[in-house]
Chains A and B, each alone.
Chain A
């Protein structure tokens, strides 16, 4: 069961690492891919290479979960729109984790719709049907079915989890001051105190 989790930045990666370890996936191999870790020589088409090798069923790919950390404004959504719509059929569980920042659920939803529409709108318009599933103090979970507009043909489904504020504010992380260890401790506290493994067990299964 292949899972791809796309997050926005480095701290989200720490959050997911800690969270996944508490979800009880025994013997599950997790690969965390950060753009910044890629050397200049390997940069060309690096995202595609990592995705291709992850999606393909071959013995050289031992991982079950790929956590992708994106940098830059909206690049997680751009990556999803441009590449992962193609892969929806091959990935069992695709999860987008975003901060709401100054927007709201509707705003993020529309941003994803716009991005997908820019790429596919002219050729084969896609319909994204979001359904609110669950929420707690800090998080909002919705699922989204992707279908071909005007038909019932389903392309796939993905999950979207939004931090109502953003991870840093919720945990009290101060980016330039806190060390990686400080961040891990704060994130661990957030996960335990808010019973987030229970919240995510319905999403990452």
Chain B
């Protein structure tokens, strides 16, 4: 999978931006020039389910147009995502649908009965009529309309602060069902049993209304071939290692081999999820994995992602991977990225403030001839800047241009 062209409009700090990336793309520039926003926008195009809250903060504050557009040419296919604020009627319909779907699902499981679409539709109208003004305002403010041109979806964030309003709403729906639907639906002898189920379902929806959010199945552009790593160290590595399976142990074994071959850490004898074992003059000695340096952990995390079965032909987004790394590790990091990109056909986007990363990428001493050859064809450096905080100015440099800029013009590629 290769993004050949991507246009981003009105997303966070980006008013309008076009990039024609290659296989290895480096985004440089001062702080607040929207480097990370480019990574987020790419990720959003594939994983719009990541939008969870703070809906209004996704829009560019300098633009009057409240529509985010992300269009990309991926291989020979076009992929689009358009996001705008949802209209009140749209969010009311969607919310009432989700509440009733959640409610009836629970009721069906308890009563072993299926309910018709007509009943569901009727109940959705009851939700719309009974919805509290505060809840209506909250939902309108915290919802978005998404479309990819073919399919549409509405997503919203539901705060636990709204639980009283939800409780009242579900009570009203339950009362309506008890008073109006019960006599119509069931003969006398089943009434008591059904009303019991109704009360349980009602309570379940109120006390676990996160289930309603569970009904927000995102259906637009959902693909799993984009990996966004915001930080190579931190909690994320722990969560990977806790849920480990036998396949994960095989993966860790491969990483151990690479760590030893590349001498990422001296005298390493064995590496697993819990401990690293070293050869010492006094025999073998171990350290808990968590005691190891952040730079080493960052390299292991990267190798963990690169050794995933799903990484082939995917897109890897790395936000400032140099954090915590010694320049020696940065060199290894760059080499891994070049070689994995080449071997596994991975497209990489890296944001960085590190002059070391740029020096190594353009160096003839640090990289093998094969690696340099790959970069000559596949490296593009994007220098990002802003005009009046609202317009992104992006210069694009290929390998030779970047090299000339550094060597002959004595310019720091990261920008003035």
Indicate whether A23 reaches chain B with its CB closer than 8 angstroms. Answer: no
Count A-side interface residues using an 8 Å CB cutoff: 31
Q: How far is the CB of A149 from chain B (nearest CB, A)?
A: 11
A122 to B401, CA, bound (A): 14
Q: List chain A residues, Cβ under 8 A from B394.
A: 120, 123-124
- Bound together, the chains give a CA A48 to CA B17 distance in angstroms of 25
Which residue of chain B has the shortest Cβ distance to A43 in the bound complex?
B410
Per-position 1/0 for B382-405, Cβ under 8 A of A: 110101100111111100010011
Report A8-52 residues with CB < 8 Å from chain B CB: 35, 38, 43-49, 51-52
A191 to chain B, nearest CB (A): 29
Q: A72-B408, A124-B17 are in contact. List 8 more A-B contacts (CB 8 A).
A: A43-B410, A47-B412, A83-B411, A86-B383, A86-B395, A119-B401, A123-B395, A124-B394
A136 to B416, CA, bound (A): 35
> At the interface, yes or no: A155 with Cβ under 8 Å from chain B?
yes
Judge if A142 is at the interface, Cβ distance under 8 Å.
no
A180 CA / B103 CA spacing, docked (Å): 91
| Contact digits for B4-27, partner A, Cβ 8 Å, 1 yes 0 no | 000000000000111110000000
Give A81's nearest chain B residue, CB to CB.
B395
A89 and B388 contact, CB distance less than 8 A: yes
B250: interface (CB < 8 Å): no
With CB as the reference atom, state the residue of chain A lying closest to B384.
A123
Q: Contact check, B391 vs A148: say whether CB atoms are below 8 A apart.
A: yes
> Quick check: is A144 within 8 A (CB to CB) of the other chain?
no
Contact of A38 among B388, B393, B410 (CB under 8 A): B410
25 of the cross-chain contacts (CB-CB < 8 Å) are: A35-B410, A45-B355, A45-B412, A47-B410, A48-B411, A48-B412, A48-B415, A75-B409, A79-B409, A79-B411, A82-B409, A85-B393, A86-B393, A86-B415, A89-B387, A118-B401, A119-B397, A122-B18, A123-B18, A123-B382, A123-B396, A124-B17, A124-B391, A124-B393, A124-B394
- A122 with B416: CB separation less than 8 A: no
CB of A153 within 8 Å of the partner chain: yes
Q: Which residues from chain A contact B411 at a C-beta distance below 8 Å?
A: 45, 47-48, 79, 82-83
What is the interface of chain B, defined by CB distance below 8 A to chain A? Answer: 16-20, 355, 382-383, 385, 387-388, 391-397, 401, 404-406, 408-412, 415-416
* Given A119-B395, A123-B17, A123-B394; A86-B410 close (CB under 8 Å): no
Residues 48-88 of A at the B interface (beta carbon under 8 Å): 48-49, 51-52, 55, 72, 75, 78-79, 82-83, 85-87
Q: Is the Cβ of B393 less than 8 Å from the Cβ of A75?
A: no
Nearest A residue to B382, CB-CB: A123
Q: Which listed residue, A35, A49, A82, A153, touches B391 by the CB 8 Å rule?
A: A153
Specify the chain B residue showing the minimal Cβ separation from A71: B408
Complex CA gap A86/B392 in Å reads 11
Nearest-neighbour CB distance to chain A for B114, whole angstroms, equals 55
Decide if A123 touches B416 in the complex (CB within 8 Å): no
A-B pairs, top 5 by smallest CB distance, nearest first, are A48-B412, A45-B412, A123-B394, A119-B395, A47-B410
Q: Which of chain A's residues have a CB closer than 8 A to the CB of B410?
A: 35, 38, 43-48
Q: Give the Cβ gap from B385 to chain A, nearest Cβ, in Å.
A: 5
- A153 CA to B416 CA, complexed, in Å: 21
Contacts of A124 in B (CB 8 A): 16-18, 391-394
Tell whether, in the assembled complex, residue A155 and residue B387 are in contact, meaning their CB atoms are under 8 Å apart.
yes
Q: Digitize A136-158: 1 where CB-to-B-CB distance is under 8 Å, 0 elsewhere.
A: 00000000000010000101000
Distance to closest chain A CB from B411 (angstroms): 5
| Minimal beta-carbon separation of A163 from chain B (angstroms) | 22
Give the CA-CA distance A49 to B410 in the complex, in Å: 9
Which residues on the B side are within 8 Å of A38 (C-beta)? 410
A78, closest chain B residue (CB): B409
Q: Please give me the residue from chain A that is nearest to B395 by CB atom.
A: A119
Using Cβ atoms and an 8 Å threshold, which residues of chain A touch B395? 82, 85-86, 119-120, 123
- Cβ of A44: which chain B residues have Cβ within 8 Å of it? 410
| Chain B, Cβ-Cβ closest to A42 | B410
Q: How far is the CA of A47 from the CA of B407 in the complex (A)?
A: 11
**In the bound complex, what is the Cα–Cα distance between A116 and B243 (angstroms)?**
51
**CB of A179, distance to nearest CB on chain B (Å):** 28
Kindly list chain B residues whose C-beta atoms are within 8 Å of the C-beta of A75. 408-409
A189 to B134, CA, bound (A): 82
Cα(A202)–Cα(B416), bound, Å: 28
Q: Which residues of B contact A35 (CB under 8 A)?
A: 410
Q: Which residue of A lies closest to B385 (CB)?
A: A86
Chain A hits for B393, CB < 8 A: 85-86, 120, 124, 155
User: For A72, what are the chain B residues with a Cβ–Cβ distance below 8 Å?
Assistant: 408
How many angstroms from the CA of A43 to the CA of B412 in the assembled complex?
11
Complex CA distance for A160 and B409, rounded to whole angstroms = 20
Q: Which residues of B contact A148 (CB under 8 A)?
A: 391
